[in-house]
């Protein structure tokens, strides 16, 4: 029997989100219904609402979540009812050209549930990143459920499902930060601060946080930044160069995703260093630069999707590090809110008052 639960939807571009009844089908073959315990509010949810991802409205928002498996469909043996899981948006297929070449972190054909969740009038919903977890329950593919230590705080665990993994992985996996590196991070929201935590974990000795908001810089310092730069009144490129012996940082991570921040990242980097773009640009953004500048500086220019993570490899490991007190993921949870608080949380995020608002169900 399909069940009716509450969910937060974006009905049309720019309109305030609505808490409505949605219909969650029974899990079919390979599918799982998960009772959501917690779901973080990520900037990407706002980008969906603004029509910046695609126009497949109405969206069922929320994608940074942890919960308990309620029921499983035919053929599912990787999880069972009662398992505590983090939901992921990289259920690798194992057979696409990336997977076959041994690079499943780039899988081009990740799994999602085959059935659709709907409004009560039958209108099909598009779940954000194939998850849709601002809801009491959601329907996903079994591969989207990663079992972790059930004693972890669900609010903390859920954050690994997107923003924290994206930022931490951008530093550790995509950039390959290692002991002794200098790293600069532009934009210190949840994603940028997770990159700082990742750089710290990997042994970077100089970690420079760049933001325009003083409170964000204070949080970045608490999470491991050795230096902070307020880009409102300081030239970020010159500041990073000055803090790195005049050379620039080995790795610069752009966690904002705008042409001007990407250029800062590019010019704040040492020769042969690495730039990682993790912030998501919008379709109208363009970059114009002398091609010779790319050539003459060498190094690598990368973008990072989901921190190049493999959920089955990375989520349990990061939860274990957190439980051992070696990864301060609890500091990302600024406020705990109810399911009807998502619209207000978008505003709070926009004005920069939080690292993460987390919906608790």
Ligand X SMILES: NC(=O)c1ccc[n+]([C@@H]2O[C@H](COP(=O)([O-])OP(=O)(O)OC[C@H]3O[C@@H](n4cnc5c(N)ncnc54)[C@H](O)[C@@H]3O)[C@@H](O)[C@H]2O)c1
From the list ligand X, Zn ion, none, which binds 99 (C-beta under 5 to 8 Å, kind-based)? Zn ion
Interface with Zn ion by CB under 5 A: which range of 92-100, 221-229, 236-244, 261-269?
92-100
Tell the residue number behind the tokens 């994608």, with chain if given: 63
The minimum distance between CB 192 and ligand X, in angstroms, equals 6
From the list ligand X, Zn ion, none, which binds 93 (C-beta under 5 to 8 Å, kind-based)? Zn ion
Taking CB under 5 A as the rule, does residue 162 contact Zn ion?
A: yes
Per the structure block, which two tokens stand in for 197? Answer: 């935590």
Which of 23, 33, 42, 225 is the binder for Zn ion (CB under 5 A)?
A: 42
- Strand 31-40 vs strand 137-141: parallel, antiparallel, or unpaired? antiparallel
From the list Zn ion, ligand X, none, which binds 107 (C-beta under 5 to 8 Å, kind-based)? Zn ion
Which of 33, 38, 61, 99 is the binder for Zn ion (CB under 5 A)?
A: 99
Taking CB under 5 A as the rule, does residue 206 contact Zn ion?
A: no
From the list Zn ion, ligand X, none, which binds 210 (C-beta under 5 to 8 Å, kind-based)? ligand X
Contact 250, 274 (CB under 8 A): yes
Kindly tell me which of 255 and 319 has the beta carbon lying closer to ligand X: 255
Which of 87, 107, 199, 204 is the binder for Zn ion (CB under 5 A)?
A: 107
From the list ligand X, Zn ion, none, which binds 192 (C-beta under 5 to 8 Å, kind-based)? ligand X
Per the structure block, which two tokens stand in for 232? Answer: 């409102």
Q: Rounded distance, CA 183 to CA 264, Å?
A: 13
Instruction: Give the interface with ligand X as residue ranges (CB under 6 A).
Output: 42-44, 47, 162-163, 166, 186-192, 210-213, 216, 231, 255-257, 261, 278-280, 304-306, 349, 352
The minimum distance between CB 211 and ligand X, in angstroms, equals 4
Q: Which of 304, 321, 327 is nearest to 191 (CA)?
A: 304
Angle, alpha carbons 232-166-205 (nearest 5°): 65
Torsion angle (degrees, nearest 10) of CA 45, 116, 18, 255: 0
Q: Rounded distance, CA 166 to CA 198, Å?
A: 10
Residues contacting 30, CB < 8 A, separation 6+ = 73, 74, 75, 76, 111, 114, 141, 142
Taking CB under 5 A as the rule, does residue 96 contact Zn ion?
A: yes
Using a 10 angstrom Cβ sphere, with 0-12 exposed, 13-18 middle and 19 or more buried, the burial of residue 221 is middle
Phi, psi values for residue 227, rounded to 5°? -140, 150
Kindly tell me which of 206 and 228 has the beta carbon lying closer to ligand X: 228
Taking CB under 5 A as the rule, does residue 41 contact Zn ion?
A: no
Taking CB under 5 A as the rule, does residue 255 contact Zn ion?
A: no
From the list ligand X, Zn ion, none, which binds 132 (C-beta under 5 to 8 Å, kind-based)? none
Q: Rounded distance, CA 243 to CA 10, Å?
A: 44
| Positions in the binding site for Zn ion (CB under 5 A) | 42, 44, 93, 96, 99, 107, 109, 162
């Amino acid at each position: 029997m399909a069940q009716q639960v509450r969910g937060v939807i974006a009905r049309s571009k720019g309109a305030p989100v609505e808490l409505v009844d949605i219909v969650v089908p029974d899990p079919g073959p390979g599918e799982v219904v998960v009772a959501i315990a917690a779901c973080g509010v990520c900037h990407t949810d706002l980008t969906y609402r603004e029509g910046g991802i695609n126009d497949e409205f109405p969206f069922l928002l929320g994608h940074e979540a942890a919960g308990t498996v309620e029921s499983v469909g035919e053929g599912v043996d990787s999880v069972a009812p009662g398992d505590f899981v983090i939901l992921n948006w990289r259920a690798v297929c194992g057979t696409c050209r990336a997977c076959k070449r041994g690079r499943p972190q780039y899988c081009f054909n990740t799994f999602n549930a085959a059935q659709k969740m709907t409004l009560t009038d039958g209108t099909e919903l598009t779940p954000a990143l194939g998850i849709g977890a601002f809801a009491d329950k959601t329907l996903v593919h079994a591969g989207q459920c990663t079992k972790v230590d059930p004693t972890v705080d669900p609010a903390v665990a859920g954050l690994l499902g997107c923003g924290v993994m994206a930022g931490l992985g951008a530093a550790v996996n995509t950039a390959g930060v290692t002991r002794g590196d200098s790293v600069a991070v532009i934009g210190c929201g949840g994603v940028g601060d997770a990159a700082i935590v990742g750089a710290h974990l990997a042994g970077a000795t100089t970690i420079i946080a760049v933001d325009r908001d003083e409170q964000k810089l204070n949080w970045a310092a608490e999470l491991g930044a050795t230096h902070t730069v307020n880009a409102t009144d300081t030239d970020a490129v010159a500041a990073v160069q000055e803090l790195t012996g005049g050379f620039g940082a080995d790795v610069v991570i752009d966690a904002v995703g705008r042409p001007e921040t990407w250029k800062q990242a590019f010019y704040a980097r040492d020769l042969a260093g690495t730039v990682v773009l993790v912030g998501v640009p919008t379709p109208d953004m363009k970059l114009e630069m002398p091609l010779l500048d790319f050539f003459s500086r060498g190094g690598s220019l990368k973008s990072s999707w989901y921190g190049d993570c493999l959920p089955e490899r990375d989520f349990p490991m990061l939860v274990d590090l957190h439980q051992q007190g070696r990864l301060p993921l609890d500091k990302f949870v600024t406020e705990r809110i109810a399911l009807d608080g998502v619209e207000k949380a978008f505003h709070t995020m926009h004005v920069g008052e939080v690292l993460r608002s987390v919906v608790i169900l």
